[in-house]
Amino acid sequence: MASTTLLCAFFLALLSCSRSERLEEPSTSDMQYTCNQIAAAISSASQVFFPPATEYLFDIEHYSYSNTEASACSVEPGSAADLSEILRVLGSSRTPFAVKGGGHGVNPGFSSTSGVEIAMSRFNETHVNSTCGTVEVGAGLTWDEVYATLGPTGVNLVGARAPGVGVAGSALGGGYSYLSNQYGLMVDNVIRYELVLPNGTVTNVTSNDDDLWFGLKGGLNNFGIVTKFIFQSHPQGGIWGGFRLHAENQLDAIKDALVKFQQKNDTKAAIDVVLSYSSGQLSIAVLFFYDEPTSSGVFDDFLAIPAIEANVSTTTFSDFIQLLGPLVAANGLRVLFEGAPVTQYSPAVFDAFANQTKLWGARLSALDKNATVSSTLEPFDNGFFSFGSGSAFPPDRSQAVFPSVVTVKWSNASLEEVMAFALRNISDTIRAAALADGQNVAHAAVYPNNALFGTPLEDMYGGNVERLRQIRAAIDPEDVMGLTGGWRF
Ligand SMILES: Cc1cc2nc3c(=O)[nH]c(=O)nc-3n(C[C@H](O)[C@H](O)[C@H](O)COP(=O)(O)OP(=O)(O)OC[C@H]3O[C@@H](n4cnc5c(N)ncnc54)[C@H](O)[C@@H]3O)c2cc1C
Ligand SMILES: *[C@@H]1O[C@H](CO)[C@@H](O)[C@H](O)[C@H]1NC(C)=O
Ligand SMILES: *[C@@H]1O[C@H](CO)[C@@H](O)[C@H](O)[C@H]1NC(C)=O
Ligand SMILES: *[C@@H]1O[C@H](CO)[C@@H](O)[C@H](O)[C@H]1NC(C)=O
Ligand SMILES: *[C@@H]1O[C@H](CO)[C@@H](O)[C@H](O)[C@H]1NC(C)=O
Ligand SMILES: *[C@@H]1O[C@H](CO)[C@@H](O)[C@H](O)[C@H]1NC(C)=O
Ligand SMILES: *[C@@H]1O[C@H](CO)[C@@H](O)[C@H](O)[C@H]1NC(C)=O
Ligand SMILES: *[C@@H]1O[C@H](CO)[C@@H](O)[C@H](O)[C@H]1NC(C)=O
Ligand SMILES: *[C@@H]1O[C@H](CO)[C@@H](O)[C@H](O)[C@H]1NC(C)=O
Ligand SMILES: *[C@@H]1O[C@H](CO)[C@@H](O)[C@H](O)[C@H]1NC(C)=O
Ligand SMILES: *[C@@H]1O[C@H](CO)[C@@H](O)[C@H](O)[C@H]1NC(C)=O
């Protein structure tokens, strides 16, 4: 009975929650008209698709079922010039649209729409410029595709830690990598963007462009649509990495190993500790990365803990990332995230993550037996914010903040607000625990790519919000990007 009372308490709290990012929809016939207008405006490099074409189904597919919608049509632009025409048609007809890179954004409507889905998949080229030490990457690629292409070249980029994640969304939101301890965030490694502005003008954005350069480094889809990124590259040899899985009885041993690991300051080493609750059990996955073919001993405390299953070895960067695929698969479920930024995984903060994962895991499993709650603890080096400056995100680089992501996966469509409530409650509880632990996290920014829908801009962009609003007002006076979902300045 006690648990019934508790559930009622949080259902009541839900009445005050609502999603503000959803857009108004024009009529179906208006949208068909717009789709045909687009088809007439683009060159043969691009194409419009309608349901039930295979290409259409591919274009609207996303990682999370909660960010998947049937659009009126999809369009695959094949050139920046065509994308420019597409934006002009959408802007003048005021048609809602979505921009999909890797489709790994999870918030409803952030890269899905009932209007026109722009799938960036044809921007799929990777060009290494060894003279300059740069790599040009098309905005339709996923990081695993880029790693596979770069494998034989001996260079690599600061990119995402799991297969399927888009270059575009991750790099435009900030971008945490296994290489961030050595080279910073993805935004710190961009040399140039090719951008289609909201009014359709195609332009290059570099460090010479004060405002757009600042805005694109964390500001996602506020300033137009990026077609290409030119990144700084870094040498890449063989690596050592993989994962190990443990049962709940190793929780304390994992906590001790994690606490000690954070004192070691070895910038070639990276780990993620994932605590997951599903089907009545807590399990632990530890993901290891060392940027040399053999590890230095920095992980010895972890490796001494008995594992249920393990696959860690000397391998290539690309194969290592592929190996992690099954650990992060959405399996057709709905997925939502929330960030829980901390500056240290101290024993008290670790306990709070474990407690919340179990507590909410059990509560949510009672409502949907397919529910999983997981917390990803991701320590970085204390100096990892020092590789860049002047970016929309992170708004404050004066101390290292570990983003942390809490994830819920579930089946039942009616439970979306319950899941959102749980995520906010977990995140708030973690922040309170970190504050009680003496961490300076009262205003620690939530990573925009981890933040749950409804998060106030100030919580992600801090003191940058006003400048970002001004930049957007100047760049997008007609509010064309207001026709798509996502965080809006
Ligand atoms: C399994 C998993 C692992 C992850 N691992 C990492 C990680 O290691 N590091 C990390 O930093 N993040 C990680 N993330 C978070 C990730 O950065 C976000 O989910 C990000 O939004 C994914 O980008 P995408 O292109 O795949 O998504 P999409 O859903 O396609 O796009 C996300 C947002 O970016 C906008 N966008 C996409 N393309 C463009 C473009 N060309 N121009 C302008 N706007 C565009 C979209 O409109 C949307 O608002 C992970 C997420 C998942 C699900
Ligand atoms: C890139 O996209 C084009 C156009 O869709 C396609 O023909 C080509 O095969 C793709 N290239 C790669 C490497 O996937
Ligand atoms: C590499 O970049 C430099 C500087 O932008 C340019 O001059 C050169 O032509 C590029 N090389 C290739 C192979 O693209
Ligand atoms: C962007 O810069 C590249 C390299 O300097 C150049 O080839 C390209 O034409 C530029 N694009 C625009 C739209 O100015
Ligand atoms: C690691 O860095 C922290 C903070 O900068 C410092 O307190 C600690 O002594 C360092 N540890 C080692 C082993 O160098
Ligand atoms: C480890 O992963 C590799 C793929 O990278 C796979 O071939 C191998 O079978 C796995 N080994 C175990 C023991 O799971
Ligand atoms: C979580 O913490 C609360 C309060 O500190 C405690 O009552 C509860 O038993 C803990 N739950 C779990 C699953 O550890
Ligand atoms: C759980 O998932 C299974 C398999 O996908 C599905 O058949 C079932 O309906 C789901 N359960 C709930 C409660 O939605
Ligand atoms: C989904 O959740 C709603 C609200 O809790 C509930 O009424 C409904 O029975 C659930 N559906 C399934 C298939 O479990
Ligand atoms: C979390 O939700 C519970 C109700 O389930 C409530 O009592 C508690 O105050 C909430 N905690 C935070 C930090 O919001
Ligand atoms: C498009 O927007 C850019 C950036 O605000 C501006 O410089 C340019 O003049 C605009 N072009 C047109 C044709 O309005």
Q: For the chain, which domains are there?
A: 29-119 (3.30.465.10), 126-236 (3.30.465.10), 239-461 (3.40.462.20)
- Around ligand 6, the residues with Cβ closer than 6 Å are 311, 319, 323
Ligand 7 atom having least distance to the Cα of 356: 1
Decide: 481 in ligand 1 pocket, CB within 6 A. no
Decide: 129 in ligand 4 pocket, CB within 6 A. no
Ligand closest to Cα of 13 equals 10
- Which pLDDT score is estimated for 24? 62
pTM: 0.95
- Which H or E element spans position 214? helix 210-216
Query: What digits encode the pLDDT tens for the residues 5-52?
Result: 444 444 444 433 334 445 566 788 899 999 999 999 999 999 999 999
* Residue bearing the CA closest to ligand 10, atom 8: 425
Token pair of 405, please?
A: 């992501």
Cα of 106 to ligand 1 centre, how many Å?
9
Cα of 224 to ligand 11 centre, how many Å?
12
Residue 152 CB contacts under 8 Å (≥ 6 apart), including other chains:
none
Our mutation pick for probing the ligand 5 site, out of 265, 343, 386, 402, counting the most ligand atoms within 8 A of Cβ, is 265
Decide: 165 in ligand 1 pocket, CB within 6 A. yes
Counting Cα atoms < 13 Å in the Cβ hemisphere of 51 gives: 11
Cα of 425 to ligand 10 centre, how many Å?
6
Q: How many helices, marked H, and strands, marked E, lie in the chain?
A: 16, 18
* 3-state secondary structure at position 287: strand
Decide: 370 in ligand 8 pocket, CB within 6 A. yes
Cα of 131 to ligand 3 centre, how many Å?
7
DSSP state of 459: H
- Which pLDDT score is estimated for 271? 98
Ligand closest to Cα of 127 equals 3
Cα of 311 to ligand 6 centre, how many Å?
6
Cα of 189 to ligand 3 centre, how many Å?
18
- Which H or E element spans position 29? helix 28-41
Cα of 199 to ligand 11 centre, how many Å?
6
Cα of 297 to ligand 5 centre, how many Å?
17
Ligand 7 atom having least distance to the Cα of 359: 13
Q: Name the pairing type of β-strands 116-119 and 190-196.
A: unpaired
Sign of CA dihedral 308, 261, 449, 122: negative
* Residue bearing the CA closest to ligand 9, atom 13: 412
Please identify which residue in the block is written with the tokens 């609750």. Answer: 277
Cα of 135 to ligand 5 centre, how many Å?
34
Please identify which residue in the block is written with the tokens 């990007």. Answer: 481
Query: What digits encode the pLDDT tens for the residues 445-468?
Result: 999 999 999 999 999 999 999 999
- For 105, phi then psi, to 5°, come to -65, 145
Decide: 32 in ligand 4 pocket, CB within 6 A. no
Cα of 313 to ligand 6 centre, how many Å?
9
Whether the CB-CB separation of 267 and 182 falls below 8 Å is answered with yes
Whether the CB-CB separation of 148 and 175 falls below 8 Å is answered with no
Counting Cα atoms < 13 Å in the Cβ hemisphere of 8 gives: 5
- Around ligand 9, the residues with Cβ closer than 6 Å are 367, 412, 414-415
Which residue numbers in the chain have pLDDT < 70?
A: 1-25
Phi-psi domain of 415 (left: phi exceeds 0; alpha: psi -120 through 50; beta: other): alpha
Decide: 355 in ligand 2 pocket, CB within 6 A. no
